Amino acid sequence: MKQLNPFLEISPSVNEALQNGQPVVALESTIISHGMPYPDNVQTALLVERTVRENGALPATIAIIGGKLKVGLSESEIEFLGKAGREAAKVSRRDAPFLLSSGRPGATTVASTMIIAEMAGIHIFATGGIGGVHRGAAETMDISADLQELARTSVAVVCAGAKSILDLGLTLEYLETHGVPVIGYQTDEFPAFYTRHSGHGVDYRLDSPGEIAKVLKIKWLAGLAGGVVIANPIPEAHEPMAAPIQAATEAALAEALRHGIRGKESTPFLLGKIKELTGGESLRANIELVLNNARLAAKLAVELCAADQF
Ligand code: PSU
Ligand code: MN
């Protein structure tokens, strides 16, 4: 039934795992093309895949290539997207049909990765940070389509919270309005991506993958469709000093304003600037937190499969 969508192309190994009810973790590709520089992006993407495997699940990196919604990329496809960088399109829900039509390569954001994961029957997804309500959104209306997708698509997104380029308070309000639960993994606080603390609370704190899997299972069995945010703070050992990150964030925001950067360019521009301003420090943290999310997502996928008996 999954194969009825003529645009969906699931790799043989991912397809076999899904048919056999084995744990699979979805991974996005905008983080590869637009989120990190080459070649760190490719090395990280492959290391994330390996980390998922080492923790008992099969990775399925998602992108739009050759007019197909691809679930499970080969190493050479990951290399291709990493080299393409911003030459690849950044694809959210609205963009997907145009990439399918033109056949051009597209890297999927959290929103479009969720859509394609759900089509394939994958319910756990690991990334770095989700998009959110941008600062000044009352004027600009810049609210990531990721939030709307979380409202409607039944995929749990494991992330390190969201970056403070965003208005984290408004992001949490938006999620509340749209009925998206925010679970803190071993934390009471919503993490701010590079840093463990934001001053904002989570809705529910759960301390083990098993407890989280149980809630996910029950939510979807009970007919409550929609996504879940699982906020997993960067490990203390890899957390950079807050002050330089904060200073770089403010400087990046000011520069974006000066250059009139907006729309889909906004997030990649800010990420690139912060990286530049903090040197290797923010990139190192970024890689560590993604690996940490891949570990938790794999464990969750394992528990979710095990939870099938109830
Ligand atoms: N936040 C990050 N790193 C990222 C992104 C967000 O810390 O790479 C990417 C993700 O793919 C996310 C997208 O889905 O940016 C959000 O973009 P926008 O704000 O334009 O919706
Ligand atoms: Mn936006």
Query: Does one domain contain both 115 and 147?
Result: no
Out of 70, 90, 163, 264, which one is annotated catalytic?
Answer: 163
Look up 217 and say whether it is catalytic: no
Judge if 298 and 159 occupy the same domain: yes
**Domain containing residue 224:** 130-310
Express each pLDDT in 33-80 by its tens digit: 999 999 999 999 999 999 999 999 999 999 999 999 999 999 999 999
User: Token match 């704190």: residue?
Assistant: 205
94 and 146 together in one domain: no
Query: For 156, how many CA atoms within 13 A lie in the half-sphere containing its CB?
Result: 33
* Cα dist from 140 to 40, 163, 238, 267, 271, whole Å: 33, 18, 34, 14, 19
Whether residues 1 and 103 fall in one domain: yes
Ligand 1 atom nearest to CA at 92: 21
Decide which of 122, 157, 182 is a domain's last residue: 122
- Range of weakest confidence among 28-37, 211-220, 271-280: 271-280
Residues near ligand 1 with C-beta < 6 Å? 28, 30-31, 35, 109-110, 128-129, 131, 144-146, 163, 193, 264, 267, 271
Of the candidates 9, 28, 77, 118, the residue annotated as catalytic is 28
Total of domains in the chain: 2
pTM, two decimal places:
0.97
pLDDT for 307 equals 76
| pLDDT score at 164 | 87
- What pLDDT, on a 0 to 100 scale, did the predictor assign at position 110? 98
Does one domain contain both 180 and 77? Answer: no
Whether 310 has a pLDDT exceeding 50, the answer reads: no
Centroid of ligand 2 to alpha carbon of 57 (angstroms) = 32
- Domain stops at, among 106, 122, 138: 122
Which helix (H) or strand (E) is 88 found in, with range?
Answer: none
Whether 154 and 234 share a structural domain: yes
Ligand 1 atom nearest the C-alpha of 263 is 20
Task: Tell me the average pLDDT across 237-266.
Answer: 95
**112 and 146 both lie in a single domain:** no
* Nearest-CA residue for atom 1 of ligand 1: 129
CATH at 297: 3.40.1790.10
Which pLDDT does position 1 carry in this prediction?
46
Query: Do 199 and 253 have their domain in common?
Result: yes
| 35 Cβ neighbours under 8 A, 6+ residues apart | 41, 128, 268, 271, 286
Cα(57) to centroid of ligand 1, in Å? 24
